[in-house]
């Protein structure tokens, strides 16, 4: 890929040849480094003089490491080959037999077939399980290559034959292995969920950065540990895969190594049939400042390249598009001779002594352990920048019916003939009968390969992958520490966002856990009034602050520091979520209980990075997602793309997410205090989503005895004077509207209403569902009652529920509140307006609550219908107004 600068045809080839000759001479006599220096000087000079120098990001389509510079393979190649063959067999057999006996259960054979060498060289030589007593390397595996990872763990003796036999059968009496890397399902094995394409790469980049953050802040010791991420070439098209590459170079993350498995194919067919994925990725990664190592050709090609004096072989390699490379592998040696070498007679001559079979077997770099070993050695030693290894491989390598063919990704079951061929090719010593059944094979414990395999892992500190269970180490502050928030604002008007910032500042100062708090923001610190946090703990900047900030003389200046605590991620919710993931799983990965608070525009959370939040939950992540500027009507002015009325609905879909919609400072304090205790002291696998609003109002003091209700989801905030005829539920700022409605109902219409604060419909529903399930399964036992019903005992009458979220949020309780419940909410697209107009439009203001209450009472025969209609006119509720849900 180079910049297309049209340069006219060469007017003086003679002169050009002289320049080239001079360069050749320098290279011959003074070497490559000198040549590079001179060229650099010329380019600099040309640029300064205004010459448009072409940007050339591609190097020749050859291995980056010249043959002559390779070091010798440090292991026993033969033993490693045998181990790899067995891993290949078991990985294939696992999928094959599962599909033979349980049609459609799925799995993948071809991906691991292409990846085996790339993983095995890592397992035998590079993946450290530990560095002394410190955590070792982190490996993000290509998710759908999991059978290969299981197959190795089986050889190591960590998984049983039964485990493998129950691949994708997780719900049997003896449960087996999950389809893909899921820490939720295999918490002692997988660390990183990767199978949703793109999530592995971005999480790996931010993991490497977070590792540095922990080191620079003195929370972990510095070690040579690395983050390895195995990425598909097709996967590289996901924006998440490539979108954060520059963070790697900007931060100098030489602890990060990507290995892109360039098998040139994705699910349907070629990744770039008409082009070259390797060239495209090389240019992109180099442009982003990464160290790029191409591993394209195996050792047998070196000998051909060496003998090719014409340079035509390298040219032929350069000119083929990926669709051709794929066809060469799919169609075999005779075709390769004719179509690849046959283009130039000199090349046919070059391979005249090789049989068609030999030509078919000329290996790609990613299948040559020596090439891979050398690339890994260089990657590990490289300093100052992350490294990407572009390894060219064959999808379905060794599967006779599927090698390099378009449908290979879907190959789940081999024919009898193919399976016997596979067995022979990889020299698995089992009889036909067993092979056809897909029996697993494990060499004897005292066989040379098994001894070797165990010894290699011992030397590297143990087995991988391995996810560690950890126990609590710190004391969480009790509720009394949050005194300021519990006592209310004494009439001062503040927002819940401000209230949260105060809590965050308090936690940051806590002598026990202050240093573990990780505030994360995507360029919204000022929106959330967090300038003081920036000043208090500083922004993490690996280089410190290289400039004098213009606002240095101000109290709240923009402070960056090498040991800064706040992660100011810039405008990337995905990147911030990746940091949140690294910090929220550090309790297991680094044995450091960091507590992340990621504060973001609630609209750009669940709906924008929902899949990453799902993966976070899978990872058993802990922490607080703080949805700022929440609510469809509370965020004034911003309109349709900003006003969030549905993140709570989306949050309800994530099993470990406890979502709260608090109205007051003390509610936030209670939720955060309890959350830290449950997540970090009790070690529960949960995390929190808490909405924060930007409307200022007086924060009341916490009513006596409200704690339990706040946590469970509901408590009576302001009882009616006398017996209530109706109950008003309010959440977030709509609680104030409910209180206002309570006054109007009493004063104008003589209706007594209780006001309840509902902090979490999601939690109330979950508890009610669990109780209901218990009742269903125990028909003979006395019926249990959900919290929502026991709370409402003695409080009969209809309910009007108002929140700044969709009606579906309160509707979650409809099964238990039957026809008592009237939900008001913000269904529909937002508008640019102020709160007054927005709330009228969405019918969630006090007047709408009053109208809904009177209407419901009238329907129930408890209020005169005519009077209700007259009331509508009095309070300005227009019954013929357009429905906001469809407006
Ligand atoms: C976000 C997402 N979209 C789609 C898929 C389904 N899928 C699984 S593997 C695959 C093809 C992967 O191709 P590549 O990344 O080249 O990996 P290979 O198997 O070729 O090594 C697809 C589309 C997925 N897992 N995640
Ligand atoms: Mg691929």
Q: Quick one: tokens of 672?
A: 């955060």
Q: Residue 263 CA: which ligand 1 atom is closest?
A: 20
- The H-or-E segment that residue 130 falls in is strand 130-131
Q: Is the pLDDT of residue 200 over 50?
A: yes
pLDDT tens digits, one per residue of 649-669: 999 999 999 999 999 999 999
Determine phi and psi for 134, rounding to 5 degrees.
-95, 155
Q: Which ligand is nearest to the CA of 231?
A: 1
**Angle 199-216/606-618 helices, nearest 10 degrees?**
70
Beta-carbon neighbour count of residue 455 at 10 Å? 11
| Distance between Cα 653 and ligand 1 center (Å) | 24
Q: Where are the alpha helices (DSSP H) in 62-183?
A: 77-101, 110-121, 146-155, 161-165
Round to whole Å and give the CA distance between 220 and 880: 64
Which residue is listed with tokens 């089992």?
A: 430
Residue 253: CB partners within 8 Å, gap ≥ 6?
205, 208, 209, 212, 247, 385, 386
pLDDT tens digits, one per residue of 56-84: 899 999 999 999 999 999 999 999 999 99
Structure confidence at residue 6 (pLDDT): 59
Quick one: average pLDDT of 305-330? 96
Structure confidence at residue 7 (pLDDT): 66
| Residue to substitute in 239, 267, 273, 325 for testing ligand 1 pocket (most ligand atoms within 8 angstroms of CB) | 267
**Which residue CA neighbors atom 7 of ligand 1 most closely?**
267
pLDDT tens digits, one per residue of 851-874: 999 999 999 999 999 999 999 999
| Secondary structure (DSSP) of 709-724 | HHHHTEEEEE--SSS-
pLDDT tens digits, one per residue of 146-173: 999 999 999 999 999 999 999 999 999 9
User: 236 pLDDT band (50/70/90 cuts)?
Assistant: very high
Round to whole Å and give the CA distance between 879 and 873: 9
Beta-carbon neighbour count of residue 673 at 10 Å? 23
Structure confidence at residue 483 (pLDDT): 96
Gyration radius of the chain over CA positions:
32
- How do strand 687-691 and strand 799-802 relate by DSSP bridges? unpaired
User: 274 pLDDT band (50/70/90 cuts)?
Assistant: very high
Q: Which ligand is nearest to the CA of 108?
A: 1
List ligand 1's pocket residues with C-beta within 6 A. Answer: 111, 114, 142, 144, 195-197, 232-235, 261, 263, 265-267, 271, 395, 409
Cis link prior to 465 (omega < 30° from 0)?
A: yes
Query: Greater confidence, 699 or 310?
Result: 699
Please state which of the ranges 244-253, 459-468, 527-536, 754-763 shows the lowest mean pLDDT: 527-536
Round to whole Å and give the CA distance between 399 and 59: 32
| Distance between Cα 188 and ligand 1 center (Å) | 25
| Residue to substitute in 182, 201, 234 for testing ligand 1 pocket (most ligand atoms within 8 angstroms of CB) | 234
Q: Quick one: tokens of 302?
A: 């070196």
Q: Quick one: tokens of 190?
A: 């997988």
**What is the tally of helices (H) and strands (E) in the chain?**
37, 22
Q: Which percentage of the chain shows pLDDT scores above 70?
A: 99
Q: Is the pLDDT of residue 876 over 60?
A: yes
Q: Residue 110 CA: which ligand 1 atom is closest?
A: 19
**Which residue CA neighbors atom 22 of ligand 1 most closely?**
267
Q: Which ligand is nearest to the CA of 237?
A: 1
Structure confidence at residue 8 (pLDDT): 78
User: 784 pLDDT band (50/70/90 cuts)?
Assistant: very high
- The H-or-E segment that residue 648 falls in is helix 647-651
**Which residue CA neighbors atom 4 of ligand 1 most closely?**
197
Query: What residues have their beta carbon closer than 5 A to ion ligand 2?
Result: 232-234, 263, 265
Please state which of the ranges 201-205, 411-415, 737-741, 876-880 shows the lowest mean pLDDT: 411-415
| Distance between Cα 141 and ligand 1 center (Å) | 13
Structure confidence at residue 469 (pLDDT): 84
Q: Is the pLDDT of residue 5 over 70?
A: no
Yes or no: say if 648 and 807 are a contact pair by the CB < 8 Å rule.
Answer: no
Show the CA angle centred on residue 637, arms to residues 631 and 638, nearest 5°.
70
**Which residue CA neighbors atom 25 of ligand 1 most closely?**
196
User: 187 pLDDT band (50/70/90 cuts)?
Assistant: very high
Q: Where are the alpha helices (DSSP H) in 186-267?
A: 199-216, 239-242, 245-250
Round to whole Å and give the CA distance between 337 and 616: 50
Q: Is the pLDDT of residue 581 over 70?
A: yes
- How do strand 387-392 and strand 291-295 relate by DSSP bridges? parallel
Q: Which long-range contacts (CB under 8 A, 24 or more apart) does 735-738 make?
A: 735/663, 735/664, 736/663, 736/697, 737/802, 737/839, 737/844, 737/845, 737/846, 737/849, 738/802, 738/846, 738/849
| Distance between Cα 146 and ligand 1 center (Å) | 13
Tell me the pLDDT of the chain averaged across its residues.
96
Q: Residue 409 CA: which ligand 1 atom is closest?
A: 19
| Residue to substitute in 144, 202, 411 for testing ligand 1 pocket (most ligand atoms within 8 angstroms of CB) | 144
pLDDT tens digits, one per residue of 816-857: 999 999 999 999 999 999 999 999 999 999 999 999 999 999
| Distance between Cα 81 and ligand 2 center (Å) | 23
**Which residue CA neighbors atom 20 of ligand 1 most closely?**
266
Determine phi and psi for 186, rounding to 5 degrees.
-130, 75
Yes or no: say if 564 and 537 are a contact pair by the CB < 8 Å rule.
Answer: yes
| Distance between Cα 265 and ligand 2 center (Å) | 4
Structure confidence at residue 475 (pLDDT): 86
For residue 292, give the nearest of 301, 305, 279 by alpha carbon.
279
Beta-carbon neighbour count of residue 156 at 10 Å? 16
Q: Is the pLDDT of residue 3 over 80?
A: no
| Residue to substitute in 141, 147, 232, 397 for testing ligand 1 pocket (most ligand atoms within 8 angstroms of CB) | 232
| Secondary structure (DSSP) of 806-850 | -THHHHTTHHHHGGGEEEE---S---S--HHHHHHHHT-SHHHHH
| Distance between Cα 201 and ligand 1 center (Å) | 13
Q: Is the pLDDT of residue 302 over 80?
A: yes
């Amino acid at each position: 890929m180079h910049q297309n600068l049209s340069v006219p045809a060469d007017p003086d080839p003679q002169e050009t040849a002289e320049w080239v000759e001079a360069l050749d001479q320098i290279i011959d006599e003074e070497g490559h480094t000198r040549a590079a220096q001179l060229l650099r000087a010329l380019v600099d000079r040309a640029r300064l003089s205004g010459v448009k120098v072409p940007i050339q990001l591609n190097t020749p389509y050859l291995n980056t490491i010249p043959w002559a510079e390779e070091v010798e393979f440090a292991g026993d190649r033969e033993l490693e080959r045998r181990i790899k063959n067995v891993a290949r067999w078991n990985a294939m057999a696992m999928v094959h037999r599962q599909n033979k006996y349980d049609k459609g259960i799925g799995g993948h054979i071809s991906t691991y077939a292409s990846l085996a060498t790339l993983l095995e060289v890592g397992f035998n030589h590079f993946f450290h399980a530990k560095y002394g007593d410190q955590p070792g390397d982190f490996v993000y595996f290509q998710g759908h290559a999991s059978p290969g990872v299981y197959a190795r763990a089986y050889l190591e003796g960590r998984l049983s034959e039964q485990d493998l036999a129950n691949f994708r059968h997780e719900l049997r009496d003896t449960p087996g292995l999950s389809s893909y890397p899921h820490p939720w399902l295999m918490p002692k094995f997988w660390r990183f969920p990767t199978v949703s394409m793109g999530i592995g790469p971005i999480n790996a980049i931010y993991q490497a950065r977070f590792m540095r953050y922990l080191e620079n802040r003195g929370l972990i010791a510095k070690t040579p540990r690395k983050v390895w991420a195995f990425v598909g070439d097709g996967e590289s098209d996901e924006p998440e895969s490539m979108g954060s590459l520059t963070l790697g170079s900007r931060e100098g993350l030489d602890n990060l190594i990507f290995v892109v498995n360039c098998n040139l194919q994705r699910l349907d067919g070629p990744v770039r049939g008409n082009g070259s994925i390797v060239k495209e990725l090389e240019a992109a990664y180099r442009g982003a400042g990464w160290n790029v190592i191409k591993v394209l050709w195996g050792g047998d090609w070196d000998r051909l390249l060496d003998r090719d004096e014409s340079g035509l072989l390298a040219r032929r390699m350069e000119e083929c598009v990926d669709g051709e490379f794929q066809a060469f592998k799919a169609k075999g040696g005779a075709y390769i001779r004719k179509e690849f070498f046959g283009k130039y007679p000199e090349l046919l001559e070059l391979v005249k002594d090789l049989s068609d079979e030999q030509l078919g077997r000329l290996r790609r770099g990613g299948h040559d352990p020596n090439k891979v070993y050398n690339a890994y050695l260089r990657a590990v030693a490289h300093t100052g920048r992350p490294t990407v290894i572009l390894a060219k491989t064959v999808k379905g390598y060794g599967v006779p019916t599927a090698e390099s063919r378009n449908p290979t990704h879907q190959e789940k079951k081999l024919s009898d003939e193919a399976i016997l061929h596979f067995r022979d090719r990889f020299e698995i010593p089992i009889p036909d009968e067993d092979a056809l059944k897909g029996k697993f094979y494990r060499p004897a414990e005292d066989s040379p390969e098994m001894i070797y395999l165990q010894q290699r892992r011992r030397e590297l500190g143990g087995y991988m992958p391995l996810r560690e269970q950890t126990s609590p180490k710190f004391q969480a502050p009790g509720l009394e520490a949050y005194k300021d928030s519990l006592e209310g604002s004494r009439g001062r008007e503040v927002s819940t966002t401000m209230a949260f910032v105060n809590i965050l500042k308090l936690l940051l100062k806590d002598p026990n856990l202050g240093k573990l708090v990780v505030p994360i923001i995507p360029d919204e610190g000022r929106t959330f009034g967090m300038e003081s946090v920036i000043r208090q703990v500083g922004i993490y900047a690996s280089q410190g602050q290289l400039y004098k900030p213009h606002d240095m003389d101000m109290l709240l200046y923009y402070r960056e520091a090498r040991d800064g605590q706040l992660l100011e991620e810039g405008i990337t919710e995905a990147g911030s979520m990746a940091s949140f993931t690294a910090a929220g799983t550090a309790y297991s990965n680094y044995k450091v209980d960091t507590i992340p608070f990621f504060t973001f525009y609630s609209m750009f959370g669940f709906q924008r990075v929902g899949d990453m939040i799902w993966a976070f939950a899978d990872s058993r992540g802990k922490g607080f997602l703080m949805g700022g500027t929440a609510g469809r009507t509370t965020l004034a002015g911003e309109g349709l793309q900003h006003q969030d009325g549905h993140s709570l609905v989306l949050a309800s879909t994530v099993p470990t997410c406890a979502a709260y919609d608090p109205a007051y400072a003390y509610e936030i304090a209670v939720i955060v205090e309890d959350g830290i205790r449950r997540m970090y002291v009790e070690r529960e696998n949960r995390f929190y989503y808490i909405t924060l609003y930007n409307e200022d109002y007086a924060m009341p003091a916490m009513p006596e005895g409200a704690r339990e209700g706040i946590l469970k989801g509901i408590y009576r905030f302001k009882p009616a004077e006398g017996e209530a005829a109706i109950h008003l539920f309010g959440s977030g700022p709509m609680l104030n509207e409910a209180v206002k409605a309570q006054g109007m109902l009493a004063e104008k219409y003589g209706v007594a209403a209780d006001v309840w604060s509902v902090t979490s419909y999601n939690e109330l529903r979950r508890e009610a569902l669990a109780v209901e399930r218990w009742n269903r399964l125990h028909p003979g036992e006395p019926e249990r009652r959900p919290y929502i019903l026991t709370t409402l005992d003695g409080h009969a009458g209809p309910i009007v529920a108002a929140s700044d979220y969709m009606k579906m949020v309160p509707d979650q309780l409809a099964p238990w509140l039957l026809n008592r419940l009237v939900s008001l909410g913000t269904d529909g697209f937002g508008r640019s307006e102020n709160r007054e107009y927005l709330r009228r439009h969405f019918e969630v203001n006090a007047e709408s609550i009053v109208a809904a209450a009177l209407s419901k009472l009238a329907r129930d025969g408890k209020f005169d219908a005519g009077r209700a209609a007259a009331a509508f006119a009095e309070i300005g509720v227009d019954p013929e107004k357009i429905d906001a849900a469809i407006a």
